[in-house]
A and B are shown apart, each in its own frame.
Chain A
């Protein structure tokens, strides 16, 4: 297990280095001056520019420049936004948690709905239930998010008026910013309207979460179905049958766990996909997350923001990937062994 952990940490370090390298090279690839792209100081006077050039070691060779950039990044300085002139790290601190909240909620929803349905489909293999589930999953997968989001707003917010259509919480509630995660902050706050605020925030979350979760859920249905079918064909299932265990016992004690192991391994990959969907959804639902901010930055040609935002978002995705790897290892004794843990 120690070796497994070290390997994952190693991988994390390496990937973060690669990501910073990519984001550093973007400052050269974007139009304009690399130094200004990195720092975001578009209105700097020549004197300020000289100081910046010194800070980012822009007179030296490219390796020293990269090194200087790295030390800036790791000391928490991502430059300032070209559009708002605020430090980017401060904006990200506010925006990223909102995205994390939305995407994790959607991931959990997609898994809790998709995986059991996939298992049921596998157990009812080639029966009516299986066919219905597969058809619905295929249909759900092919709906464009954009259209689904607008449709959801049209039906549930405008026509039925059940759920709010925009934002994270009603402006009435003032929640102190502690962790950045809305739900946690609400629970931490000592406001008298805590529960109303909580309900309001939850109501705001429902529509975007469902919209984000739909396509990944259908993928989980198919992943879980394939995994379960594979497991049910294994010798140990047949052996368990011969032991005299009932079908339910076999499913609960052996099949689900082994199928879960296979599903978890793919969650990390699916998560990148899910975050992409979440970015589009944030725009539709005016969700104050990093995805919407990034897309706005692209419109505004805010290169500093694009570059730093991408760095943060991809680091987050990768972190989730690593975490799912740990869950995978916890479920699968084979992966924990040093000689198997590649």
Chain B
């Protein structure tokens, strides 16, 4: 059974000039214990999708979906508040830019403590306080922070970005989530720190059977850590399948371009030559192309691309393209 099953989720932004379809009918499903990568250039709507799932978008955005099941329960039948309550019990999210997600005027310790559920503790006020502190220290140990005494007394700006990320993960773990959504957990980090964070997430996945939705703009960066991958472009679903399928035989020109533009795929190139990449850049929300939004940048685009393609399923390898790289259609 799927842990999370989302069909055709759309997110609209209300502006003075009408509504903009920022995310256009994207489907996503997660199995228990699965690590899924959600990949796409910056501005593809990955963060929006993640925030829509945990229900923290503000009222300027409206979210629709044909199906939104969580552990077999149809969440669309509930009110938004109820939905958020159910989701936040089992799903934790770590946001992009961890430093900015911590309250700058409150110590790490108290921010961590408030994330811990009160029901775990017993006894009177003082006993609870003590247990709470202990639990916070334990969480910090879990994410590999050894000097928890220093850490709990610090303010966010006194920590490095990587430490803040660990704290964010610790906070996410406080609720013992079944699904962790990690939005660009290693962006702007050195390679050694990136590796440590990924290893930490992988160990949490293996030891606790925690599912992880790993969001990244760098396809190659995450392939090592994921079972399955979903590729998005400009708010539209592009391609989805197992990491192996995506990595060895992409069907979509966009995925192909993402792979081609990664440094590793270009090892054989002479130094300082240009990386292969699609021309142009991702469209801004105010100027979205009709049909397949990749159209203007796509090497294989033809007239049919002004209509959005239907998702085709090739043995679990989903692709949304009229002229996919899968020969013979």
> Measuring CB to CB, which residues of chain A are less than 8 angstroms from any residue of chain B?
234-236, 238-245, 249, 253-254, 257-258, 261, 331-334, 337, 340
Contacts and interface: CB of A to CB of B under 8 A. Distances in A.
Contact of B89 (A238, A244, A333, A334): A244
11 contacts: A236-B102, A236-B104, A238-B56, A242-B88, A243-B174, A244-B175, A253-B106, A257-B105, A333-B105, A333-B157, A334-B104
A245 B174 CA distance: 13
B120 to A, nearest CB: 14
A261 B155 CA distance: 15
B171 to A, nearest CB: 6
Given A242-B54, A242-B95, A253-B114, A235 B155 contact: no
Contacts of A337: 157
Given A242-B95, A245-B114, A333-B155, 19 more contacts: A234-B100, A235-B96, A235-B101, A236-B100, A236-B101, A236-B104, A238-B51, A238-B95, A239-B102, A240-B103, A242-B92, A243-B171, A253-B103, A254-B103, A254-B106, A257-B103, A333-B105, A334-B155, A334-B157
Interface of B: 51, 54, 56, 88-89, 92-93, 95-97, 100-106, 114-115, 155, 157-158, 168, 171, 174-175
Contact of B105 (A238, A239, A332): A332
Contacts of B51: 238
A239 B182 CA distance: 12
Contacts of A254: 103, 106
Given A258-B104, A332-B105, A235 B56 contact: no
Contact of A243 (B100, B106, B114): B114
Task: Tell me what chain A mostly uses at the interface: helix, strand, loop, or mixed.
Answer: helix
| Interface-centre pick from B101, B155, B158 (highest chain A CB count, 10 A) | B101
A184 to B, nearest CB: 33
Contacts of B97: 235
A331 B105 contact: yes
Contact of A333 (B92, B104, B115): B104
A261 B103 CA distance: 12
Contacts of A236: 100-104
Contacts of B104: 236, 258, 332-334
A340 B171 CA distance: 27
Contacts of A243: 88, 92, 114-115, 171, 174-175
A234 B95 CA distance: 12
A243 B88 CA distance: 7
With a 10 A CB-CB cut-off, give which of A254, A332, A337 has the most chain B CB atoms. A254
Contacts of B102: 236, 239
B95 A239 contact: yes
Nearest to A254: B103
Nearest to A125: B59
B116 to A, nearest CB: 10
Contacts of A258: 103-105
B175 to A, nearest CB: 6
A276 B128 CA distance: 52
A333 B92 CA distance: 28
A239 B101 CA distance: 6
Contacts of B114: 243, 245, 249, 253
A89 B104 CA distance: 46
Nearest to A239: B101
Nearest to A336: B155
Given A257-B105, A337-B157, A242 B100 contact: no
Interface centre among A332, A334, A337 (most CB of B within 10 A): A334
Nearest to B104: A334
Nearest to A246: B85
Which one of A236, A331, A337, A340 has the greatest number of beta carbons of chain B within 10 Å?
A236
Nearest to B102: A236
A257 B106 contact: yes
Contacts of B96: 235
A334 B102 CA distance: 13
Nearest to B51: A238
Contacts of A239: 95, 101-102, 168
B117 to A, nearest CB: 8
Given A242-B95, A253-B114, A235 B103 contact: no
